[in-house]
Protein backbone atom coordinates (compact mmCIF):
# COMPACT_ATOMS: atom_id res chain seq x y z
CA UNK A 1 0.00 0.00 0.00
CA UNK A 2 1.46 3.32 -1.07
CA UNK A 3 1.55 6.04 1.57
CA UNK A 4 -0.76 8.95 0.90
CA UNK A 5 -0.32 12.65 1.45
CA UNK A 6 -3.07 13.50 3.93
CA UNK A 7 -5.66 15.73 2.31
CA UNK A 8 -6.73 18.95 3.95
CA UNK A 9 -8.86 21.88 2.92
CA UNK A 10 -6.95 24.22 0.66
CA UNK A 11 -7.59 27.95 0.75
CA UNK A 12 -6.78 29.96 -2.36
CA UNK A 13 -5.84 33.60 -2.18
CA UNK A 14 -6.01 35.84 -5.23
CA UNK A 15 -7.70 33.24 -7.47
CA UNK A 16 -10.48 35.45 -8.76
CA UNK A 17 -11.69 36.63 -12.14
CA UNK A 18 -9.92 39.94 -11.65
CA UNK A 19 -6.70 38.41 -10.35
CA UNK A 20 -5.83 35.30 -12.35
CA UNK A 21 -2.45 34.72 -10.70
CA UNK A 22 -3.09 32.37 -7.85
CA UNK A 23 -1.46 31.70 -4.53
CA UNK A 24 -2.28 28.33 -2.99
CA UNK A 25 -1.49 26.78 0.35
CA UNK A 26 -0.02 23.26 0.49
CA UNK A 27 -1.69 20.10 1.63
CA UNK A 28 -1.05 18.91 5.15
CA UNK A 29 1.71 16.30 5.24
CA UNK A 30 3.02 13.78 7.72
CA UNK A 31 6.41 14.83 9.17
CA UNK A 32 9.33 12.69 7.94
CA UNK A 33 10.06 11.14 11.34
CA UNK A 34 6.55 9.65 11.40
CA UNK A 35 6.98 7.64 8.23
CA UNK A 36 9.36 4.99 6.98
CA UNK A 37 11.28 6.74 4.24
CA UNK A 38 9.54 9.36 2.12
CA UNK A 39 5.91 9.34 1.03
CA UNK A 40 5.17 8.98 -2.67
CA UNK A 41 2.49 11.30 -3.99
CA UNK A 42 -0.76 9.38 -4.30
CA UNK A 43 -2.97 10.05 -7.30
CA UNK A 44 -5.90 8.09 -8.67
CA UNK A 45 -5.76 5.57 -11.51
CA UNK A 46 -3.92 2.29 -11.94
CA UNK A 47 -1.44 1.77 -9.11
CA UNK A 48 1.96 0.01 -9.17
CA UNK A 49 1.57 -3.75 -9.44
CA UNK A 50 -2.10 -3.64 -10.50
CA UNK A 51 -1.62 -4.10 -14.24
CA UNK A 52 0.98 -6.84 -14.40
CA UNK A 53 4.06 -6.43 -16.57
CA UNK A 54 4.64 -4.60 -19.84
CA UNK A 55 6.26 -5.89 -23.00
CA UNK A 56 9.78 -4.65 -23.75
CA UNK A 57 10.06 -2.45 -26.83
CA UNK A 58 12.25 -5.02 -28.57
CA UNK A 59 9.24 -7.32 -28.75
CA UNK A 60 7.18 -4.62 -30.49
CA UNK A 61 10.08 -3.82 -32.77
CA UNK A 62 9.93 -7.31 -34.27
CA UNK A 63 6.71 -6.53 -36.14
CA UNK A 64 6.36 -2.75 -36.12
CA UNK A 65 9.67 -1.51 -37.54
CA UNK A 66 11.35 -1.36 -40.94
CA UNK A 67 8.23 -1.88 -43.00
CA UNK A 68 9.94 -1.36 -46.32
CA UNK A 69 6.87 0.54 -47.49
CA UNK A 70 4.88 3.05 -45.50
CA UNK A 71 5.89 4.31 -42.08
CA UNK A 72 7.05 2.08 -39.24
CA UNK A 73 5.63 3.08 -35.87
CA UNK A 74 8.73 1.94 -34.00
CA UNK A 75 11.10 3.64 -36.45
CA UNK A 76 9.67 7.08 -35.76
CA UNK A 77 8.88 6.54 -32.09
CA UNK A 78 12.53 5.78 -31.21
CA UNK A 79 13.57 9.35 -32.06
CA UNK A 80 10.70 11.02 -30.22
CA UNK A 81 10.72 12.66 -26.82
CA UNK A 82 8.18 10.00 -25.81
CA UNK A 83 10.77 7.26 -26.35
CA UNK A 84 13.43 9.33 -24.59
CA UNK A 85 11.35 10.81 -21.78
CA UNK A 86 13.27 8.75 -19.22
CA UNK A 87 16.68 9.71 -20.64
CA UNK A 88 16.15 13.47 -20.66
CA UNK A 89 18.98 14.98 -18.54
CA UNK A 90 17.07 18.20 -17.94
CA UNK A 91 14.19 16.16 -16.51
CA UNK A 92 16.49 14.19 -14.20
CA UNK A 93 18.28 17.30 -12.99
CA UNK A 94 15.01 19.01 -12.11
CA UNK A 95 13.55 15.94 -10.38
CA UNK A 96 16.71 15.67 -8.27
CA UNK A 97 16.40 19.29 -7.14
CA UNK A 98 12.75 18.89 -6.14
CA UNK A 99 13.43 15.63 -4.32
CA UNK A 100 16.05 17.47 -2.27
CA UNK A 101 13.69 20.35 -1.47
CA UNK A 102 10.81 18.07 -0.44
CA UNK A 103 12.86 15.64 1.66
CA UNK A 104 12.36 17.76 4.77
CA UNK A 105 8.60 17.58 4.18
CA UNK A 106 8.73 13.79 4.10
CA UNK A 107 7.53 13.68 0.49
CA UNK A 108 9.08 11.84 -2.46
CA UNK A 109 7.81 14.52 -4.83
CA UNK A 110 9.68 13.08 -7.80
CA UNK A 111 7.31 10.11 -7.83
CA UNK A 112 4.62 12.23 -9.46
CA UNK A 113 7.02 13.04 -12.31
CA UNK A 114 8.24 9.46 -12.76
CA UNK A 115 4.77 8.03 -13.42
CA UNK A 116 4.62 10.05 -16.64
CA UNK A 117 8.24 9.87 -17.82
CA UNK A 118 8.95 6.27 -16.76
CA UNK A 119 5.52 4.57 -16.81
CA UNK A 120 6.72 0.96 -17.21
CA UNK A 121 9.04 1.20 -14.22
CA UNK A 122 6.43 3.08 -12.20
CA UNK A 123 3.61 0.64 -12.94
CA UNK A 124 5.83 -2.35 -12.23
CA UNK A 125 6.79 -0.92 -8.82
CA UNK A 126 10.33 0.38 -9.32
CA UNK A 127 9.74 4.10 -8.75
CA UNK A 128 10.93 4.02 -5.16
CA UNK A 129 13.28 5.61 -4.33
CA UNK A 130 12.08 8.57 -6.38
CA UNK A 131 15.59 9.34 -7.61
CA UNK A 132 15.17 6.68 -10.30
CA UNK A 133 18.02 4.49 -9.07
CA UNK A 134 15.85 1.36 -9.09
CA UNK A 135 14.86 1.53 -12.75
CA UNK A 136 16.03 -1.05 -15.27
CA UNK A 137 17.47 -0.35 -18.70
CA UNK A 138 14.13 -1.31 -20.26
CA UNK A 139 12.32 1.24 -18.06
CA UNK A 140 14.42 3.97 -19.66
CA UNK A 141 12.60 3.54 -22.95
CA UNK A 142 10.20 6.07 -21.49
CA UNK A 143 6.65 6.21 -22.80
CA UNK A 144 6.80 2.90 -24.58
CA UNK A 145 4.40 1.00 -26.83
CA UNK A 146 2.74 -1.40 -24.41
CA UNK A 147 1.79 1.26 -21.87
CA UNK A 148 -0.02 3.43 -24.42
CA UNK A 149 -1.64 0.49 -26.19
CA UNK A 150 -3.13 -0.85 -22.97
CA UNK A 151 -4.54 2.45 -21.75
CA UNK A 152 -8.31 2.86 -21.51
CA UNK A 153 -10.34 6.02 -21.02
CA UNK A 154 -9.99 6.66 -17.26
CA UNK A 155 -13.28 8.56 -17.09
CA UNK A 156 -15.29 5.90 -18.92
CA UNK A 157 -17.39 3.28 -17.18
CA UNK A 158 -14.81 0.70 -18.20
CA UNK A 159 -11.95 2.76 -16.79
CA UNK A 160 -13.73 3.53 -13.53
CA UNK A 161 -14.44 -0.15 -13.05
CA UNK A 162 -10.74 -1.03 -13.23
CA UNK A 163 -9.50 1.05 -10.31
CA UNK A 164 -10.24 1.39 -6.62
CA UNK A 165 -10.22 5.18 -6.66
CA UNK A 166 -11.65 6.62 -9.90
CA UNK A 167 -9.95 9.33 -11.92
CA UNK A 168 -11.87 12.62 -12.13
CA UNK A 169 -9.84 14.56 -14.71
CA UNK A 170 -7.52 13.94 -17.65
CA UNK A 171 -4.27 15.05 -16.03
CA UNK A 172 -1.07 14.19 -14.19
CA UNK A 173 -0.55 10.75 -15.81
CA UNK A 174 -3.53 9.39 -13.88
CA UNK A 175 -3.86 6.67 -16.45
CA UNK A 176 -5.93 3.53 -16.24
CA UNK A 177 -4.15 0.58 -17.83
CA UNK A 178 -5.66 -2.78 -18.69
CA UNK A 179 -4.23 -5.84 -16.95
CA UNK A 180 -4.91 -7.88 -20.10
CA UNK A 181 -1.29 -8.21 -21.17
CA UNK A 182 -2.03 -9.99 -24.45
CA UNK A 183 -4.57 -7.46 -25.79
CA UNK A 184 -3.39 -4.29 -27.50
CA UNK A 185 -5.76 -1.35 -28.00
CA UNK A 186 -5.65 0.87 -31.06
CA UNK A 187 -7.58 2.83 -33.69
CA UNK A 188 -8.66 -0.05 -35.97
CA UNK A 189 -11.65 -2.36 -35.59
CA UNK A 190 -10.34 -4.83 -38.17
CA UNK A 191 -6.72 -5.25 -37.08
CA UNK A 192 -5.37 -8.79 -36.82
CA UNK A 193 -2.09 -10.00 -35.38
CA UNK A 194 -0.58 -13.45 -34.79
CA UNK A 195 1.34 -12.08 -31.82
CA UNK A 196 -1.45 -10.63 -29.68
CA UNK A 197 -5.15 -9.90 -29.55
CA UNK A 198 -6.35 -6.52 -30.81
CA UNK A 199 -9.22 -4.30 -29.72
CA UNK A 200 -10.61 -1.07 -31.15
CA UNK A 201 -10.24 2.03 -28.96
CA UNK A 202 -11.76 5.38 -29.86
CA UNK A 203 -9.93 6.82 -26.87
CA UNK A 204 -6.67 6.52 -28.82
CA UNK A 205 -8.06 8.90 -31.44
CA UNK A 206 -9.01 11.59 -28.93
CA UNK A 207 -7.16 14.54 -27.41
CA UNK A 208 -8.22 13.22 -24.02
CA UNK A 209 -5.74 10.41 -24.55
CA UNK A 210 -2.96 13.01 -24.86
CA UNK A 211 -4.41 15.09 -22.03
CA UNK A 212 -3.76 12.22 -19.65
CA UNK A 213 -0.13 13.38 -19.46
CA UNK A 214 -0.08 16.79 -21.17
CA UNK A 215 -2.16 18.43 -18.46
CA UNK A 216 -0.30 18.90 -15.18
CA UNK A 217 -1.42 20.61 -12.01
CA UNK A 218 0.50 20.50 -8.76
CA UNK A 219 -0.74 17.78 -6.35
CA UNK A 220 1.13 19.43 -3.46
CA UNK A 221 -1.39 22.28 -3.73
CA UNK A 222 -4.38 19.99 -4.27
CA UNK A 223 -4.13 20.34 -8.07
CA UNK A 224 -4.93 24.07 -7.89
CA UNK A 225 -1.65 25.41 -9.32
CA UNK A 226 -0.96 24.97 -13.05
CA UNK A 227 2.28 23.44 -14.28
CA UNK A 228 1.41 22.53 -17.87
CA UNK A 229 -2.07 23.13 -19.33
CA UNK A 230 -1.69 22.16 -22.98
CA UNK A 231 -4.81 19.97 -23.02
CA UNK A 232 -7.03 22.65 -21.46
CA UNK A 233 -5.58 25.28 -23.80
CA UNK A 234 -6.76 23.10 -26.70
CA UNK A 235 -10.02 22.04 -25.05
CA UNK A 236 -11.34 25.59 -24.87
CA UNK A 237 -10.33 26.70 -28.36
CA UNK A 238 -11.82 26.67 -31.85
CA UNK A 239 -9.73 23.58 -32.65
CA UNK A 240 -11.64 21.49 -30.12
CA UNK A 241 -15.01 22.76 -31.33
CA UNK A 242 -14.03 21.99 -34.94
CA UNK A 243 -12.96 18.45 -34.08
CA UNK A 244 -9.24 19.02 -34.68
CA UNK A 245 -7.42 16.77 -32.22
CA UNK A 246 -3.81 16.66 -31.05
CA UNK A 247 -3.15 13.65 -33.27
CA UNK A 248 -4.09 15.61 -36.41
CA UNK A 249 -0.96 17.75 -35.99
CA UNK A 250 1.36 15.54 -33.95
CA UNK A 251 0.47 12.13 -35.48
CA UNK A 252 -0.65 12.94 -39.04
CA UNK A 253 -1.88 10.12 -41.27
CA UNK A 254 0.22 8.56 -44.02
CA UNK A 255 -0.33 5.59 -46.32
CA UNK A 256 1.32 2.34 -45.35
CA UNK A 257 1.10 -0.89 -43.45
CA UNK A 258 0.56 -1.40 -39.73
CA UNK A 259 3.10 -4.20 -39.48
CA UNK A 260 5.95 -5.91 -41.28
CA UNK A 261 5.55 -8.61 -43.89
CA UNK A 262 6.50 -11.24 -41.33
CA UNK A 263 3.86 -10.11 -38.87
CA UNK A 264 0.70 -11.03 -40.74
CA UNK A 265 -0.29 -12.56 -44.04
CA UNK A 266 -2.78 -10.50 -45.93
CA UNK A 267 -1.82 -7.30 -44.13
CA UNK A 268 -3.72 -4.23 -45.31
CA UNK A 269 -2.43 -1.13 -47.01
CA UNK A 270 -4.09 1.76 -45.18
CA UNK A 271 -4.26 5.47 -45.84
CA UNK A 272 -4.70 6.27 -42.16
CA UNK A 273 -1.49 5.06 -40.54
CA UNK A 274 -0.65 7.61 -37.79
CA UNK A 275 2.98 8.73 -37.72
CA UNK A 276 4.47 8.03 -34.29
CA UNK A 277 6.74 11.07 -34.35
CA UNK A 278 4.97 13.13 -31.64
CA UNK A 279 7.02 16.16 -32.67
CA UNK A 280 6.65 19.45 -30.80
CA UNK A 281 8.97 22.42 -30.42
CA UNK A 282 11.86 20.77 -28.57
CA UNK A 283 14.65 21.24 -31.11
CA UNK A 284 17.49 21.15 -28.58
CA UNK A 285 17.03 17.95 -26.59
CA UNK A 286 17.64 15.65 -29.62
CA UNK A 287 21.16 17.11 -29.65
CA UNK A 288 21.66 16.73 -25.90
CA UNK A 289 20.31 13.21 -25.36
CA UNK A 290 23.11 11.20 -27.02
CA UNK A 291 25.69 12.97 -24.85
CA UNK A 292 23.82 12.01 -21.67
CA UNK A 293 22.67 8.51 -22.64
CA UNK A 294 26.03 7.46 -24.03
CA UNK A 295 24.96 3.84 -24.58
CA UNK A 296 21.96 4.87 -26.68
CA UNK A 297 21.49 2.64 -29.72
CA UNK A 298 22.86 4.18 -32.90
CA UNK A 299 19.52 3.89 -34.71
CA UNK A 300 17.95 5.92 -31.89
CA UNK A 301 20.67 8.56 -32.31
CA UNK A 302 20.09 8.78 -36.06
CA UNK A 303 16.36 9.13 -35.59
CA UNK A 304 16.91 11.89 -33.04
CA UNK A 305 18.68 13.91 -35.73
CA UNK A 306 15.60 13.58 -37.90
CA UNK A 307 13.38 14.54 -34.98
CA UNK A 308 15.32 17.77 -34.55
CA UNK A 309 14.70 18.64 -38.21
CA UNK A 310 11.01 17.95 -37.74
CA UNK A 311 10.90 20.08 -34.58
CA UNK A 312 12.38 23.06 -36.42
CA UNK A 313 9.84 22.56 -39.17
CA UNK A 314 7.01 22.33 -36.65
CA UNK A 315 8.11 25.60 -35.03
CA UNK A 316 8.19 27.32 -38.41
CA UNK A 317 4.61 26.20 -39.05
CA UNK A 318 3.32 27.45 -35.70
CA UNK A 319 3.28 31.21 -36.22
CA UNK A 320 2.74 33.93 -38.79
CA UNK A 321 4.62 37.24 -38.74
CA UNK A 322 3.30 40.51 -40.21
CA UNK A 323 5.31 43.74 -40.19
CA UNK A 324 4.03 47.20 -41.18
CA UNK A 325 5.42 50.75 -40.83
CA UNK A 326 3.88 54.22 -41.01
CA UNK A 327 7.01 56.40 -41.03
CA UNK A 328 7.48 56.85 -37.28
CA UNK A 329 6.47 53.51 -35.82
CA UNK A 330 6.79 49.85 -36.69
CA UNK A 331 4.04 47.37 -35.92
CA UNK A 332 4.80 43.65 -35.56
CA UNK A 333 1.93 41.21 -35.39
CA UNK A 334 2.49 37.59 -34.30
CA UNK A 335 -0.34 35.16 -35.00
CA UNK A 336 -0.56 31.80 -33.25
CA UNK A 337 -1.46 29.05 -35.73
CA UNK A 338 -1.24 26.22 -33.19
CA UNK A 339 -4.11 24.59 -31.32
CA UNK A 340 -2.78 25.66 -27.91
CA UNK A 341 -0.92 28.62 -26.47
CA UNK A 342 2.32 29.66 -28.14
CA UNK A 343 4.64 28.57 -26.72
CA UNK A 344 3.03 25.81 -24.67
CA UNK A 345 4.19 22.95 -22.45
CA UNK A 346 6.43 22.95 -19.41
CA UNK A 347 7.02 26.61 -18.58
CA UNK A 348 10.51 26.68 -17.04
CA UNK A 349 13.04 28.02 -19.53
CA UNK A 350 10.90 27.94 -22.69
CA UNK A 351 10.40 31.27 -24.36
CA UNK A 352 9.65 33.02 -27.64
CA UNK A 353 10.65 36.59 -28.45
CA UNK A 354 10.90 39.21 -31.16
CA UNK A 355 14.29 40.30 -32.48
CA UNK A 356 13.98 43.62 -34.34
CA UNK A 357 16.95 45.26 -36.10
CA UNK A 358 16.93 48.70 -37.76
CA UNK A 359 19.63 49.55 -40.35
CA UNK A 360 20.64 52.82 -42.02
CA UNK A 361 21.41 53.34 -45.72
CA UNK A 362 25.00 52.14 -45.21
CA UNK A 363 23.83 48.87 -43.65
CA UNK A 364 24.89 49.91 -40.17
CA UNK A 365 22.77 48.65 -37.27
CA UNK A 366 21.28 51.71 -35.56
CA UNK A 367 18.90 50.02 -33.12
CA UNK A 368 18.05 46.51 -31.94
CA UNK A 369 15.40 45.09 -29.65
CA UNK A 370 15.56 41.53 -28.36
CA UNK A 371 19.29 41.11 -28.96
CA UNK A 372 20.62 37.64 -28.18
CA UNK A 373 24.32 36.85 -27.70
CA UNK A 374 25.06 33.25 -28.79
CA UNK A 375 28.42 33.31 -27.00
CA UNK A 376 26.96 34.10 -23.58
CA UNK A 377 23.42 32.79 -24.26
CA UNK A 378 22.05 36.01 -22.79
CA UNK A 379 18.98 37.88 -24.01
CA UNK A 380 19.45 41.62 -23.53
CA UNK A 381 16.71 43.62 -21.87
CA UNK A 382 15.55 46.81 -23.59
CA UNK A 383 12.54 49.09 -23.17
CA UNK A 384 10.69 47.65 -26.17
CA UNK A 385 11.51 43.96 -25.84
CA UNK A 386 8.68 41.44 -26.20
CA UNK A 387 9.20 37.99 -24.71
CA UNK A 388 6.37 35.46 -24.69
CA UNK A 389 6.80 33.24 -21.65
CA UNK A 390 5.39 32.03 -18.35
CA UNK A 391 7.02 33.02 -15.08
CA UNK A 392 5.73 30.94 -12.16
CA UNK A 393 7.06 31.52 -8.69
CA UNK A 394 6.41 31.56 -4.96
CA UNK A 395 4.43 33.82 -2.71
CA UNK A 396 4.29 33.36 1.03
CA UNK A 397 6.23 30.08 1.01
CA UNK A 398 8.15 29.67 4.25
CA UNK A 399 11.91 29.77 3.78
CA UNK A 400 11.79 31.26 0.28
CA UNK A 401 11.57 34.85 -0.97
CA UNK A 402 8.54 35.97 -2.92
CA UNK A 403 9.20 36.09 -6.63
CA UNK A 404 9.80 34.08 -9.78
CA UNK A 405 11.25 30.62 -9.23
CA UNK A 406 12.36 27.48 -11.06
CA UNK A 407 11.18 25.30 -8.13
CA UNK A 408 8.14 24.08 -10.06
CA UNK A 409 6.86 21.78 -7.29
CA UNK A 410 6.93 24.60 -4.72
CA UNK A 411 5.64 27.34 -7.00
CA UNK A 412 2.20 28.58 -6.01
CA UNK A 413 1.86 31.82 -7.95
CA UNK A 414 1.85 32.98 -11.58
CA UNK A 415 3.82 36.21 -11.97
CA UNK A 416 3.70 36.38 -15.76
CA UNK A 417 2.06 34.42 -18.56
CA UNK A 418 1.63 36.40 -21.77
CA UNK A 419 1.81 33.42 -24.14
CA UNK A 420 -0.47 33.85 -27.15
CA UNK A 421 -3.76 31.92 -26.89
CA UNK A 422 -5.13 29.78 -29.73
CA UNK A 423 -7.89 30.76 -32.09
CA UNK A 424 -11.34 30.78 -30.50
CA UNK A 425 -10.38 30.80 -26.81
CA UNK A 426 -12.41 32.75 -24.25
CA UNK A 427 -11.08 34.41 -21.13
CA UNK A 428 -13.93 33.12 -18.99
CA UNK A 429 -13.40 29.49 -19.97
CA UNK A 430 -9.65 29.77 -19.50
CA UNK A 431 -9.94 31.31 -16.03
CA UNK A 432 -12.59 28.80 -14.97
CA UNK A 433 -10.28 25.95 -15.93
CA UNK A 434 -7.02 27.20 -14.47
CA UNK A 435 -5.39 28.77 -17.53
CA UNK A 436 -4.19 32.22 -16.49
CA UNK A 437 -3.16 35.18 -18.63
CA UNK A 438 -0.97 37.49 -16.58
CA UNK A 439 0.79 40.61 -17.82
CA UNK A 440 -1.11 40.78 -21.11
CA UNK A 441 -4.64 41.21 -22.43
CA UNK A 442 -6.20 39.15 -25.19
CA UNK A 443 -9.80 39.66 -26.28
CA UNK A 444 -11.95 36.55 -26.60
CA UNK A 445 -10.91 34.65 -29.71
CA UNK A 446 -7.76 36.72 -30.25
CA UNK A 447 -4.87 34.50 -31.34
CA UNK A 448 -2.44 37.29 -32.15
CA UNK A 449 -0.38 39.95 -30.41
CA UNK A 450 0.85 43.31 -31.69
CA UNK A 451 4.02 45.07 -30.56
CA UNK A 452 4.90 48.63 -31.60
CA UNK A 453 8.45 49.97 -31.97
CA UNK A 454 9.69 53.52 -32.54
CA UNK A 455 11.61 53.82 -35.82
CA UNK A 456 14.98 55.49 -35.10
CA UNK A 457 16.20 58.43 -37.15
CA UNK A 458 18.10 57.35 -40.24
CA UNK A 459 16.69 53.82 -40.40
CA UNK A 460 15.78 52.69 -43.93
CA UNK A 461 15.36 48.94 -43.43
CA UNK A 462 14.19 46.65 -40.67
CA UNK A 463 14.66 42.93 -40.12
CA UNK A 464 12.29 41.11 -37.76
CA UNK A 465 12.66 37.55 -36.48
CA UNK A 466 10.43 35.52 -34.18
CA UNK A 467 12.72 33.36 -32.05
CA UNK A 468 12.07 30.25 -29.95
CA UNK A 469 14.36 28.72 -27.32
CA UNK A 470 13.87 25.38 -25.59
CA UNK A 471 15.62 26.41 -22.39
CA UNK A 472 17.55 29.34 -20.99
CA UNK A 473 20.98 29.83 -19.53
CA UNK A 474 19.39 30.81 -16.23
CA UNK A 475 17.48 27.52 -15.95
CA UNK A 476 20.49 25.37 -16.83
CA UNK A 477 22.65 27.22 -14.32
CA UNK A 478 19.95 26.76 -11.68
CA UNK A 479 19.95 22.99 -12.27
CA UNK A 480 23.74 22.86 -12.06
CA UNK A 481 24.02 24.94 -8.90
CA UNK A 482 21.11 23.36 -7.01
CA UNK A 483 22.44 19.85 -7.63
CA UNK A 484 25.92 20.43 -6.21
CA UNK A 485 26.25 17.93 -3.39
CA UNK A 486 22.68 16.70 -3.91
CA UNK A 487 22.46 13.01 -3.01
CA UNK A 488 19.29 12.64 -5.08
CA UNK A 489 21.16 13.48 -8.28
CA UNK A 490 22.23 9.87 -8.82
CA UNK A 491 22.84 10.44 -12.54
CA UNK A 492 25.00 13.52 -12.05
CA UNK A 493 22.50 15.25 -14.30
CA UNK A 494 22.92 18.70 -12.75
CA UNK A 495 26.54 19.16 -13.78
CA UNK A 496 26.19 17.10 -16.94
CA UNK A 497 23.26 19.07 -18.30
CA UNK A 498 25.34 22.23 -18.03
CA UNK A 499 28.31 20.63 -19.81
CA UNK A 500 26.07 19.20 -22.52
CA UNK A 501 24.35 22.58 -22.92
CA UNK A 502 27.74 24.20 -23.54
CA UNK A 503 28.72 21.53 -26.09
CA UNK A 504 25.47 21.70 -28.07
CA UNK A 505 25.19 25.39 -28.88
CA UNK A 506 23.71 26.47 -25.55
CA UNK A 507 20.19 25.60 -26.71
CA UNK A 508 20.57 27.81 -29.76
CA UNK A 509 17.33 29.65 -30.59
CA UNK A 510 15.33 28.66 -33.67
CA UNK A 511 13.98 31.28 -36.07
CA UNK A 512 10.27 30.57 -36.36
CA UNK A 513 9.45 33.33 -38.84
CA UNK A 514 11.14 36.39 -40.33
CA UNK A 515 10.37 39.47 -42.37
CA UNK A 516 12.34 42.31 -43.98
CA UNK A 517 10.79 45.60 -45.09
CA UNK A 518 12.13 48.87 -46.48
CA UNK A 519 11.11 51.94 -44.51
pLDDT score recorded for residue 15: 38
Is residue 4 assigned to a domain? Answer: no
Do 106 and 178 fall into the same domain? yes
Is residue 10 assigned to a domain? Answer: no
Do 28 and 151 fall into the same domain? yes
The per-residue pLDDT for range 298-333, each reduced to its tens digit, is 999 999 999 999 999 999 999 999 999 998 999 999
| Residue 311, helix vs strand vs coil | helix
Is residue 17 assigned to a domain? Answer: no
Residue 111, φ and ψ in degrees, nearest 5 = -60, -35
pLDDT score recorded for residue 269: 84
Domain span at residue 475?
A: 318-518
pLDDT score recorded for residue 58: 93
Do 354 and 409 fall into the same domain? yes
pLDDT score recorded for residue 261: 64
Split at pLDDT 50, 70, 90, the class of 7 is: very low
pLDDT score recorded for residue 27: 64
Do 274 and 326 fall into the same domain? no
Is residue 157 assigned to a domain? Answer: yes
What is the chain's mean pLDDT, rounded?
Answer: 91
Is residue 156 assigned to a domain? Answer: yes
Is residue 290 assigned to a domain? Answer: no
Count of structural domains within the chain: 2
Question: Minimum mean pLDDT among 5-19, 378-392, 429-443: which range?
Answer: 5-19
At residue 519, does pLDDT exceed 70? yes
Do 328 and 254 fall into the same domain? no
- HEC sequence for 183-231: EEEECCCCCCCCCCEEEECHHHHCHHHHHCCCCEECHHHCCCCEEECHH
Do 359 and 445 fall into the same domain? yes
**Higher-pLDDT residue of 8, 429:** 429
**Cα four-point dihedral sign 98, 100, 106, 110:** positive
The per-residue pLDDT for range 448-480, each reduced to its tens digit, is 999 999 999 999 999 999 999 999 999 999 999
d(CA 56, CA 145): 8
pLDDT score recorded for residue 348: 83
Do 273 and 340 fall into the same domain? no
Do 251 and 370 fall into the same domain? no
Is residue 138 assigned to a domain? Answer: yes
Do 250 and 336 fall into the same domain? no
Do 324 and 273 fall into the same domain? no
The per-residue pLDDT for range 359-411, each reduced to its tens digit, is 999 999 999 999 999 999 999 999 999 999 999 999 999 999 999 999 999 99
Is residue 312 assigned to a domain? Answer: no
d(CA 349, CA 473): 8
Do 386 and 499 fall into the same domain? yes
Amino acid sequence: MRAVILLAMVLLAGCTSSSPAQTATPLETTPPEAVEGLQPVFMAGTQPGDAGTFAPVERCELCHADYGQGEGAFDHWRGSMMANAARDPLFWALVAVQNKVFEEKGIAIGDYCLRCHVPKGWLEGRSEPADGSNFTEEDLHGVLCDVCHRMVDPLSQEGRGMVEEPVEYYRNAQFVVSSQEKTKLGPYDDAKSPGHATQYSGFHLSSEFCGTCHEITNPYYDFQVPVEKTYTEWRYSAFSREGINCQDCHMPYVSGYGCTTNAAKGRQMRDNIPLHQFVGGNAWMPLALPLFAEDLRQDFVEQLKFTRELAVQKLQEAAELEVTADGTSLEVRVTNLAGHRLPTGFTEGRRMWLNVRFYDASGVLVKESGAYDPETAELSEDPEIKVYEAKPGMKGVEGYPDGESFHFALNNHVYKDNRIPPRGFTNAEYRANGVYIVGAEYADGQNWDITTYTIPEGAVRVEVRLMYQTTTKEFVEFLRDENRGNRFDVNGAGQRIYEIWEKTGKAEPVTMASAVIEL
